[in-house]
């Protein structure tokens, strides 16, 4: 009888565990779905995308009855920054064939507007340029009655040790095509250049282009208003905080009909932050738990930089900060940036995982300026940046959709983070 009831109990625990994992994944999938929906416009700076995401996150924080930490009793910290956007037309035809924005081509994110029909195209093979004087002559020869196809731009930049952004900024006003063999990866820029540049997939264009038709609109916004969102679950020790952060912004729209869903980057991390917020709202801890959702990460860690320069909860009151960015598939475990800076905390993560087998592996990495933990680390706040390893490799492209996020082992990451917080109690 005893044995039988033990068996039943074990069976119940297995099912409870499975149901729980299911709940976590359902929660994450639901919130990733909302954050990547067309109404969020890729959470950028076209059609109030980031603003829509902010309203949604604040609504969630209110639902969980989180407490404000700002002086004015709201969940937001406002700030602003310049940003280049593409809110209008985004049409490019090569020899009369219309290309598909996002799939066949990307516009350089610092490009200005350009339009023209049947513009004759000259091809320049940058691979043939071997010294600076030839490069100068080439730049001087550019004539804005033509468009230019610039071949071998990558090898040219490597040869001349030039960042692609620097290269783009040197091109005179006019329209350029740069053929791409590799996957198209977009970005967002704060400044504009003189030129209008398109990165076109090599297999979407003929070997030699004769004419281009272009209608692309950019809008540079000198002072885009944005906000960080923050709230806490007070603990028994109110003035010391365990902090979770994630960025809610993404690349937004490239033209009026193409958006970048940013499911893995970083709807997934934002969904994890919401999950932890809902969990801790029901399970207050010894220390207060603070949640901060940053905007402006994609144009250059702007939201977290602003927070560190204007802290609401002082950095000295942060016991430990964990930033979550890219948390959609942990098939190959997670990587911890700053693991080498905080070896005691890193070994604690590993000890928890060795005991519980939550995820396949926890990899160690040193310092890196690759997400919102960075300015906190530099200002002396102990912090990790944790990202998952796995998935289909969609990144900063139109294919990073909610449906492509597997959530493999992500429930395990949630449990790992929750056990990690208990370690500080």
Pick between residue 124 and residue 246 the one whose CB is nearest to Zn ion: 246
Q: In the chain, what are the helix, strand and coil shares in percent, each to the nearest 5?
A: 35, 25, 35
Task: Order across the sheet with 105-107: list the strands.
Answer: 97-98, 90-94, 211-216, 114-125, 147-151, 175-180, 196-201, 105-107
- What is the closest distance, in whole angstroms, from the C-beta atom of residue 182 to Zn ion in the complex? 17
Q: How far apart are CA 361 and CA 40, in angstroms?
A: 34
Pick between residue 189 and residue 265 the one whose CB is nearest to Zn ion: 265
Q: Which residue has the tokens 């902010």?
A: 54
Nearest to 151 by CA among 176, 134, 175, 170: 176
Q: How far apart are CA 67 and CA 235, in angstroms?
A: 11
Pick between residue 54 and residue 268 the one whose CB is nearest to Zn ion: 268
Q: Interaction with Zn ion in 99-128: which residues (CB under 5 A)?
A: none
Q: How far apart are CA 246 and CA 336, in angstroms?
A: 15
- What is the closest distance, in whole angstroms, from the C-beta atom of residue 265 to Zn ion in the complex? 4
Pick between residue 224 and residue 265 the one whose CB is nearest to Zn ion: 265
Pick between residue 24 and residue 400 the one whose CB is nearest to Zn ion: 400
Pick between residue 129 and residue 251 the one whose CB is nearest to Zn ion: 251
Tally of helices (H runs) and strands (E runs) in the chain: 10, 16
Q: How many other C-beta atoms lie within 10 A of the C-beta of residue 136?
A: 12
- What is the closest distance, in whole angstroms, from the C-beta atom of residue 34 to Zn ion in the complex? 19
x/- site string to Zn ion, residues 214 to 253, per CB under 5 A? ----------------------------------------
- What is the closest distance, in whole angstroms, from the C-beta atom of residue 161 to Zn ion in the complex? 26
- What is the closest distance, in whole angstroms, from the C-beta atom of residue 389 to Zn ion in the complex? 16
Residue 259 is given by DSSP the state B
Q: Which residues pair with 78 in a beta bridge?
A: 227
Q: Are residues 286 and 350 in contact, defined by beta-carbon separation less than 8 angstroms? A: no
Pick between residue 265 and residue 345 the one whose CB is nearest to Zn ion: 265
How many residues belong to the site for Zn ion (CB under 5 A)? 1
Q: Is 24 in the site for Zn ion (CB under 5 A)?
A: no
x/- site string to Zn ion, residues 250 to 289, per CB under 5 A? ---------------x------------------------
User: Which residue number has the CB closest to Zn ion?
Assistant: 265
Nearest to 144 by CA among 195, 90, 206, 218: 195
Residue 253 is given by DSSP the state B
**Footprint of Zn ion on this chain (CB under 5 A)?**
265
């Amino acid at each position: 009888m005893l044995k039988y009831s033990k068996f039943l109990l074990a069976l119940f625990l297995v099912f409870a565990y499975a149901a729980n994992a299911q709940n976590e994944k359902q929660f994450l999938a639901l919130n990733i779905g909302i954050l990547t929906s067309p109404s969020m416009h890729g959470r950028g700076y076209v059609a109030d995308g980031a603003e829509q995401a902010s309203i949604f996150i604040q609504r969630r924080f209110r639902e969980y009855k989180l407490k404000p930490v700002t002086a004015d009793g709201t969940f937001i910290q406002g700030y602003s920054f310049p940003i280049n956007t593409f809110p209008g037309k985004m049409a490019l035809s090569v020899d009369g064939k219309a290309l598909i924005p996002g799939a066949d081509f990307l516009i350089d994110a610092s490009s200005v507007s350009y339009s023209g029909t049947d513009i004759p195209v000259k091809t320049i093979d940058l691979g043939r340029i071997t010294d600076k004087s030839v490069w100068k002559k080439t730049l001087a020869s550019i004539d804005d009655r033509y468009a230019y196809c610039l071949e071998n731009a990558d090898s040219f930049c490597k040869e001349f040790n030039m960042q692609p952004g620097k290269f783009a900024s040197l091109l005179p006003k006019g329209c350029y095509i740069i053929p791409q063999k590799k996957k198209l990866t977009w970005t967002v820029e704060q400044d504009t250049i003189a030129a209008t540049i398109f990165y076109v997939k090599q297999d979407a264009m003929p070997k030699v282009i004769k004419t281009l038709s272009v209608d692309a609109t950019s809008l540079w916004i000198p002072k885009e208003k944005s906000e960080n969102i923050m709230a806490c679950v007070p603990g028994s020790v109110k003035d010391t905080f365990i902090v979770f952060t994630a960025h809610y912004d993404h690349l937004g729209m490239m033209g009026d009909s193409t958006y970048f869903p940013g499911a893995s980057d970083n709807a997934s991390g934002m969904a994890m932050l919401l999950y932890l917020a809902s969990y801790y709202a029901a399970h207050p801890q010894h220390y207060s738990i603070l949640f901060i959702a940053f905007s402006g990460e994609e144009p250059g860690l702007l939201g977290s930089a602003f927070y560190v320069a204007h802290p609401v909860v002082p950095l000295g009151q942060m016991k430990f900060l964990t930033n979550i960015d890219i948390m959609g598939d942990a098939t190959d475990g997670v990587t911890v940036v700053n693991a080498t800076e905080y070896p005691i905390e890193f070994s604690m993560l590993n000890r928890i995982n060795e005991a519980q087998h939550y995820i396949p592996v926890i990899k160690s990495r040193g310092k890196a300026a690759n997400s919102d933990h960075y300015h906190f680390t530099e200002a002396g706040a102990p912090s990790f940046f944790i990202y998952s390893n796995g998935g289909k490799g969609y990144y900063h492209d139109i294919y990073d959709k909610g449906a492509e996020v597997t959530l493999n082992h992500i429930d395990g990451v949630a449990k790992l983070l929750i056990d990690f917080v208990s370690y500080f109690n």
